[in-house]
Every structure is written in C-alpha cells, then in structure tokens.
Chain A
C-alpha cells in the first residue's frame, strides 16, 4: 500500500514504484545498524573507569512508613565496600527538586533518597557503593533500616479523601486540579436527542519496558567541580534543570554524555533522583560510580504510565448520530511523587476532541498521589489515556444507540477539507484524512466479509469481534501549556539544535541536540543534509549520540513528544542551509562570481552551467581551514554553523486554557479482528491493520518500524501488561515472568498502510510519529465489545487492559458492567 494525499503540488496518489527526488523519502541503509547488529554499540554500561564503584540502592519494603533509623555500619564493615549515602545526608547536601505544580503539589518535597518517610515499595532509602555490583547488592542487605509502618493508599479515588496523606508538607494528596470548559456543554446537553452516560472507565497502569534498564556512570572532577554523567537520560536538558539547583551548582557543571541507548519511551526522562544520588556518591567517595538498574527495580520503582479513572462521562448525541461533545471527571493517579507531573494534567488537552468535530467539552481533572511507583511520560503520554476515553465514548454510544461504529466515526471525524482545523481549545490540527485511513484499514482486514467471518467463527464456537482505534499522535510540544497549570512557570515554545560543519578534508560533520534511543537519527539527519548539500548520506558523518559539551544543546533538547522529524530535522535543515550558503560564498570568492551563480551538486561547489569550474568539498574545507591567505577580509564564513529551530508557537491564553499546544498531528487508525472463546475468555487476534499518516515520510522503513513497535506496545497494554498491586502495596508484576511483554511470536499478522498528508507547519512537511500506540489499545477493547455485546445487552468493556481472566469475568457476569451505562432518549 503506497499512496499519498493532500499535497496540492503533487499527484494525489503516488503508486508504488514512483520515486521522489533526493534521499528524503528513501529507505536508505541505517547508519546505526552495522554497529548495533555487530554488538559494537556503546551503551552507558559499556563505559568503564579505573577504580570505579558500583551502586546499589536499598529500597523500602513498605508502601508507606516512617523511617526511624538507618544504620549503614555493618555494610561498611564488608571488605570491598567503598561507601554509602543516606537520606539524612541527601537532606543536608541538596535542596528538594523543584515542583512544577501550584499548591498543594508545589509544597511536596522530593529528594534523591527518601528523607524521613518512604512512600512506595521500592522507594530508595540509602545507597551502597562497592567493588562489584554483586557485592554492593550483598552489602545493601546489611543496611539496617527501622521503619514505623503507616497506613497507605493505593487507589486514586480513595486518595482524594485525604484520610491517608502521603506528603504532610502538602497537606493533601491532590497534586493539581482544575476544570477545562470549552464550547457550551450545557447547551449541547439541552440540544441532544439522546444522552449516553457512562459511570466509570479505567485506564490501567502499565509502562513501556526498554530493553536497556536505566543507569549511569558518573565521574566527578574535583579540580573543576564538574560531573560527567555517561547515562541514558533521554531528556538531559530537563534533567539538568532539576539536578543543578538541587545540587546547588550551575547547569554547566553537569555534562551528560550518551552514545547508544536501548530504548526510552519516556521512562528515562525522570532519572534525576537516581542521577543526583550518584553525583553525590562520586563526589563523596572521589571515585567514578556506576549504577545499572536491575529489571525488578525498573518495574518496581522507576516509573509507570499514568493510571486514570474516568467518572460520570456524559455524551449528548443527536438523532442522526452526531455527537456534540462530552463531559467527564478524570482522576489521574501519579503515584508517590509528581516527578514530571502535573504536566499530564494538560498534555491530554492537545487532543481534546480526539479525531472528532466535538465542540463542547468539559473536563474536571484532578491528579493525586498514591503509595505506588511514581509515573513519568510513557509513549503516548497522557494523550493515550484521553484518546482511549474518546474512542470508548464513540463505541459505547454507537453500541447503545444501535449505530454502526464505522459510520458514527465517519460522521463525527474532522473532515479532510476542514484542515487546518481548530479544536474547541485552540489547537490546530495541521492535516489529515481520517476517513480515508479508516477505509484503508478496513480494506486491509477484509471488512466487507465480516459477516461471513463471524459465522465461520460461530461455527467453531468462537465469538468474532472487530474494533477500530483512531488516534492522534500529537508532536512537538508547546511548553507554554505548562503555564496553564502554573502561570509562574517560565516555559513556553520549544527548540532544538544542530551544528553542521565542513572539515579540513571535506568531511561533513553533524552534531545533534537530540538524544537518540534507537530512532535512527543519524540516518535521517544525513538524508536531509545530503539533499541540501548535493552529496550522499555516506559522506555525512552524524556524530552518534549526545554530549552537552558539543554546544548543540538547547533548553528542550531530547527525544520525546514525537518531535525529531520536526524539531531535530528542522535544526539540521536550518544549519545545513546556513552551511550551504557559506560554502557558496566561499566558492564565489574563489571563482570571483556571485554566490547566486554557485550550485552544490555531486559533492562539489560549481558554477551553474559550467561543470568544469568546480571545487570539491575537500577543497572548500582545506581553503578555509588551512589555506586561507588571500581570502577577502570581508568574507565572513566559518563553515561551522549552529542552528536553533524554534517552532512557531504563541503563549496560550491562560484564562481560557486556550491555545496551540502542539504543532503536528500524525494519525493512526488501527483495525483489529479477534475471536473469543466464551468458555475460557481466551481470545486471539486473527487480523490486524495499522494505517499511519505522519505527513512526509523521511525514511519509510523507520516509520514502519515505529508503527510495528507502537502496535506491539498497544497490544501488550491491551491484553497482558498491567502493574498490579496487592493490598500491602507490593507490585505483583515486578519482572518479565509476571509482566508479559509481547514477544515476536505473540504478535498477530500485522498489515500496514499509510497516507502522507504533508504538514503545512513544519520545515519538511513531516510530523513526529513515535507514539501512536494508543489506537491499538482501543482497537482491542472495541473488538472485545463488538464480540460480546449487542445493543443494550452484554458487558461493557470498561478497562483498558483486558487479560483473559478479565474477559471471562465479562462473559460470566455481564450485568456487573452493563449497569455502568445508561441512555436517556428524548
């Protein structure tokens, strides 16, 4: 399936085999792959230093307890133990990390180690450094911690009651709360022919689990009082903003270095507590220290995705199936600390009406702390939960009113001709064709023969269901949305940096501010550079990884929020265009002509129409860098340029909570066909299609890889991946034995399609697209609902994760969930 739509300058449909000019749009070999498949990648854990020590964190077995004492003396007695760090030391040596929220969340005191109290199982209480990793773990067992257990709270709604308060200094478990009210919901309600009410929906707690756990190697230079952190933080600029004030140093004292990172997905954004502890240890012990997180610790105490309960969902609907909006009360559970929160309280608003033309929306949003692991952005951060809600709304409304969910979607989707489309809260959907994507998805799974397939399944004792998930992958944040939560925050817009230079031997060298975690940045950056400079990607050396001392770092540098194709490549494009201009100026000075007469082709700067008058890149590099006598003094070129790409954002209207919160909107429409065995609840996905529209695709194979990855993420979250706690606050899924991530053999046959709706707002017409997994979660929920329910009958799929035993419950006790939904028809 290859086709492209929307761009007026191009043919509406590009058939397979058509070739776009240049390297952009081609699946050139990935620069990263050779070293990765040969085992020659360099991850933080590969970095070793003489005499380094290994860090192990002593963690709380209690969900909530007062720390009465911490005794590290026995650990110190063990041969090979280099030292320890306790919460008391941390409280003296550092300040609490700054909080993004207004009060009460603003009053929370969050340190690198627990100070005075533990608030979730796995909360780090002390750290031990020893000669080996295993010895550090053994020594950690000798640290004696006396706890006074406290009552704990594990449920978001219970937490709201403040009967157990996690943070005394805040006085409440509420981190942030606010009402978002756009359009006129009351008028819409009055105007409705039907009102569908859903008492409760729940988005379960899960997380993406990168192949590489978190960690770092930290060196401290006593002479310069500067730390070098070889790590896998995926947003070090923001990490430094948290860490430097806490450590009471300037931000330039923290140098973050990474080459290869084994996946991020957002949960490597909030590593500042662990990294700060390691910085303190490296300084205290005067030796490099390395921390490599154990998988169990990663599950138990790193970060999870936001868990969210939706209550009292009210949906006004016209007789023809037009939906006028919705209202909802959302309770978001951020775990023990709001480490990146309360940003999740606003990020969802980037996709307020989902893919739909709903104009009247009221959301009463509250975020609370509970005695569970803190949350962090998780691929699809906050939008995933909200889009799952919008999709459940569509399917439940369609089911209750006896409407075709396909037709309801098409009736309510934003129309192709309405782009750019402004949502009720001022976001601008840049481009797309949702109905077309849906048609492709349906075609891929053979929707026309649905009834025949259903009968066939029934003949085998199975129930067939088909479900759609249609979501948006909003990319390139406007950080100004944080001011809607807290007007005192001084964040807005976004930025990213790249440098490009032409070296003495004619080598084109690129550095990126982004922190790639496997997304192929070296490859796609080289494609962009090659097209502008008239060379090949092979001739472009994109430095692997990230180093804050490269001078290619801006305040928001990193890889997150589906934005590299816009911000990262926007910076690369801008820098390369500057370099191209300088190369033309230099060549013009040598040839004695105007820069306008120079073209860059075939790795040369030459006079247009005169291929003989050409300077190879090597000559340009050598002339400026090593043979520059005689060049005109007014020639102001360095062949080493830096560009900061800044997306076109305004600050939002804080009163109305209104504005363009993000720049691009990629689309994912997924269709799922599954069969349930009603005797056991076991179900199998028998057909699956994912259709993606991310604007102009820079490297189709990389896009395809992201689609596959996001689909696997979604199917895991929909079927098995769930962080379950027992009543004591113990995590029951702390490793891959209990927490089942889809393996290759678990994946269904996956069919993919795409269209390309060029974004009018971005440098390359591309949109970020790394977080489109939400569609799959809903597609599975909808397919289960389709298989189990009939109009006004059968169970309601009300949770995002539906393992087999949950489906068996739905089959056995349909009345328990049926009562969650009611319809008022006028």
Chain B
C-alpha cells in the first residue's frame, strides 16, 4: 500500500447526518463520542445538527477514530468531488483516499478570494452610486440655484479715466441664466457733469433733465449688451469721481437688481482707452477696447484717435487745444 505525504486542512467540512447515522449504527451515545474526542455532548449535538459546518483537524481525526471510519467518510460529498490539487505537505502519513482532503484548503482559499472579490464589487457599487448621487444632487442644486437666485448677472464697464470735454463709452453687460426670466427694464442714471450723446441699442425712454435712460428688453434673450456714449463737461474739475447708478427690473417688479460698476471713473488728463493711466495705449489695451466695442462704428468712439495714440507709443494732454497729442518720435 503506497503511502504519501498529504496536507490536511486545519478546518474540515463535516456531514452531520453521516456522523449521526454512523453513531447510531454503532449504538454509541453522544456522551461516549464526546469523551473520546474530548469535547462536550453539546458540541457533538451541534456537529450532528450542522450548526458547525467545519471542525478542527484534530477533532475530525479523533471523531473518525471513535466512529471507526475513515476521515474521508466524514467530509461532505460536494467538497470531495471538487478536490483536484495537492500542495506541499505538512507531514502526516495517511491513506491514499485522503489526498482529496489536502485540496480542501485550496477550495477554502478560493472561497475566501471569491468573498473578497464580492466585497470589492460591493464597495465599487457603493462608490459609483455615491458618485452618481453627488453628481445628480449637484446638477439639481445648480439648476435650482440658477433658476431662482442667480438669474441675472449684470455689470457696468466704465473706463478708469476720462479727460474733461472728452467722449467715452459705458457698457452694460447683462447675462441671463435660466429660462424663468420675463421681460426686463434697464434703468441708468448718469452723472450731472456728463451729457448724453448716443446709445446702442436706442434707449426706449430718455429723460435728459433727470439724466435717466431706460431700455425695455423682451424675454427671449440670454445676453444683452448696451453701450451708451457720454461726454464730460469741459469745466469738470480734475480728480472728480463720476457716480453712476442703475438697476434692472423684471416684469411686475418682482425682482430688482442694482448694476455694479467695474471701477470708479475719475476725471484726469488721461485718455479713456488708457486703462492703467500710464499715458501709453499699449497692445493689450487697444485689443481689449476693440474687442469690447466690436460691432460699433469706429467713428462713434474715436477709433482712429486711439490707433494714432497707440502707434505713437505715448501721448500727452494739450491744455490749449483740449486734445490728446501723440508723442511722435519720442
């Protein structure tokens, strides 16, 4: 009879029915078997009633001895059928039939791996569901927020400086987000020291005495740009700040929003296109102005003069002619 060295797993799956049947065949009591194995009668009862699916290797060997059967007979059928591989041994001499037992460890490992994979999958599912929930919540919140609160984004773009007696543009940029907006009214009040020249589009209502301009826009627009041109009075004192006020009103006065300026407009001997006030119209400044005023006729905002000052590199204010003169050749 050939003997081989096999590995017996530390935990062995047992068949409770077989144990009970064999014990009864031999006419043994649970107490007797318990005393042989070295466990309590409760433990034997639990093994027989399949409350413990596996038992320790030592106990399994003792139980097999007590029941006068081979250990293989205690193992569950389905486990036996699955056994195929044998690994390196933990030395024990046994019957060839026991070679299947060694493979149970591998199956246990596989079962553990399978459990681990399932756990990983569950974690992945939970993570993805959580991610999806966050995305959906963010989307819903964003939509609601924009539909009720941040409907209109409006700003007044003013030049930083303007010289006395010079013409300059004021841009009102309105961005409407969401679809719940009805028609709107734009109302602007310009300073007393300025005179109105022109607006694009044309103002719906003008009150020159009150220095007030009104526009009404239909609801079907997401972006509105209004440009109006003013001229400062020649007698306006230098370093004076010009104050602009205005607001937008939505139909039936349900919503009113003030218009905030990007800067404070100061009276100085600086061209309005000279954003940083360094008496030079540089490349960035001219591109910004031309991009902002694209679609407006050049003659309306003095495009040629700006080009002339830009090409010269620098300029100065001539108090006699009340004009900006390019510093050619300097």
Q: Do A and B truly interact?
A: no
